[in-house]
Homo-oligomer: A and B are copies of this chain.
Amino acid sequence: MFFEGAEKKLEIRLTPKLASLRQREYGFWSTLVACANAEILSTISNHACDAYLLSESSLFVWDDKILLLTCGNSTLVDAACHFINAVGVEHIAALCYQRKNEYQAQLQSTSFADDIAKLRTLIPGKAFRVGHLDSHHHYLFCSDNQFCTGDLFCTDSQVMPSTETCLELMMYHIRGELADYLKLPTQTEQGIYQRLEFQQLFPDFQFDMHCFQPAGFSLNAIRGTDYVTLHITPSMGQGEHSYVSFETNLDLATYPHPVVARLVNGFSPTSWDLIGFDQHILTEGFPAHLCLGQAMVTTASGGEITFSHYQQLETQVLQPEFM
């Protein structure tokens, strides 16, 4: 059984003129996620944010912003187009669409190139890939006036300043006690939550969690405008294609807990990637590793997107997978 854990990600920020997105009815959001072939499982809310746990990952809604993550063979670009048409492109201040390294890109119904061709019929933007095709690589599309790199994007003077930060951690081929627990039929939401020590790492957060059948785990957490989301795709059956993603808008460089190091040590992935949006990446506490590749892209507002691909400093013993 193969399930593509790697997410597609859509982030849309609206202009101040529009009424709060949180006034929209539940049906608006269930229709939106249905466009991506997902459905809402549960919801948590606070004064600033609504967090929806989905059959394929997560949706977060703030007054002027949405963040939609979908994994598997979801069609997130269709949800993006639906949303743009629903609110009107003139109300879109910024749109980012991202696809992460997929284990089996050829099983996806569309490629990133297909997706951006569709997006560009509605909204102009720049797109790039970082990372070689024979190794981890990530794709990003950003609507114009938002991002630049070197001299390439910076000719446009209409700069959209942003104080938003985000860190994405992607872990591949998890191993050890926690990875073993995540394959057990007896795993529970509380069992995973306790092993992750999220109560200690995120003490003031409100949590929502779900265990999937036969395996898989999703977690949303919010505190004011802050969010944390974690999705686990264990490797079931033949082959090793486990994947865990973690994402937050907390600035982890100044956060009191070494969240990323704790996660990397807990899941013990063979390799992991970090994508930081205006985040200083701390590698202290990482297991012995080699940073295989690194990229930095500068945004028009002076912010920085960093991409780093790490691998444990050891030789993996590979097993043949019979076909």
Known A-B contacts A106-B105, A271-B134; the reply to A127 vs B322 at CB < 8 A is: yes
Query: A130 is contacted by which of B129, B130, B290, B320 (Cβ under 8 Å)?
Result: B320
Chain A 285-315 interface mask (CB, 8 Å, partner B; 1/0): 0000011111101000000000100010101
Q: Is the C-beta of A86 less than 8 angstroms from some C-beta in chain B? A: no
Chain A 256-297 interface mask (CB, 8 Å, partner B; 1/0): 000000000000001100000000000000000011111101
Q: Is the C-beta of A323 less than 8 angstroms from some C-beta in chain B? A: yes
Which of A127, A173, A294, A323 has most chain B Cβ within 10 Å? A323
Which residues of B lie under 8 Å from residue A173 when comparing CB positions?
Answer: 132
Query: A104 is contacted by which of B126, B133, B295 (Cβ under 8 Å)?
Result: B133
**Which residues of A in the span 120-166 have a Cβ within 8 Å of any Cβ on B?**
126-136, 139, 149, 152
Which residues of B lie under 8 Å from residue A111 when comparing CB positions?
Answer: 106
Verify B323–A311 contact, CB threshold 8 A.
no
Known A-B contacts A133-B104, A135-B135; the reply to A318 vs B290 at CB < 8 A is: no
Interface size on A, residues (CB 8 A): 49
Q: Is the C-beta of A101 less than 8 angstroms from some C-beta in chain B? A: yes
Verify B133–A103 contact, CB threshold 8 A.
yes
Verify A133–B316 contact, CB threshold 8 A.
no
Which residues of B lie under 8 Å from residue A135 when comparing CB positions?
Answer: 134-135, 271
Query: A128 is contacted by which of B106, B134, B321 (Cβ under 8 Å)?
Result: B321
Considering the chains assembled together, what is the distance between the CA atoms of A291 and B112 in angstroms? 31
Considering the chains assembled together, what is the distance between the CA atoms of A132 and B101 in angstroms? 13
Q: Is the C-beta of A64 less than 8 angstroms from some C-beta in chain B? A: no
Considering the chains assembled together, what is the distance between the CA atoms of A291 and B126 in angstroms? 36
Q: Is the C-beta of A227 less than 8 angstroms from some C-beta in chain B? A: no
Query: A315 is contacted by which of B112, B113, B292 (Cβ under 8 Å)?
Result: B292
Which residues of B lie under 8 Å from residue A270 when comparing CB positions?
Answer: 132
Within the complex, the shortest CB–CB distance from A30 to chain B, in Å, comes to 32
Considering the chains assembled together, what is the distance between the CA atoms of A294 and B295 in angstroms? 27
Known A-B contacts A152-B322, A322-B126, A323-B129; the reply to A134 vs B315 at CB < 8 A is: no
User: Which A residues form the contact surface with B (CB < 8 A)?
Assistant: 101, 103-106, 111-113, 116, 126-136, 139, 149, 152, 172-173, 239-241, 270-271, 290-295, 297, 307, 311, 313, 315-323
Q: Besides A105-B105, A127-B322, A134-B135, 8 other CB < 8 A contacts?
A: A104-B133, A106-B106, A113-B323, A129-B320, A129-B321, A292-B316, A294-B316, A294-B318
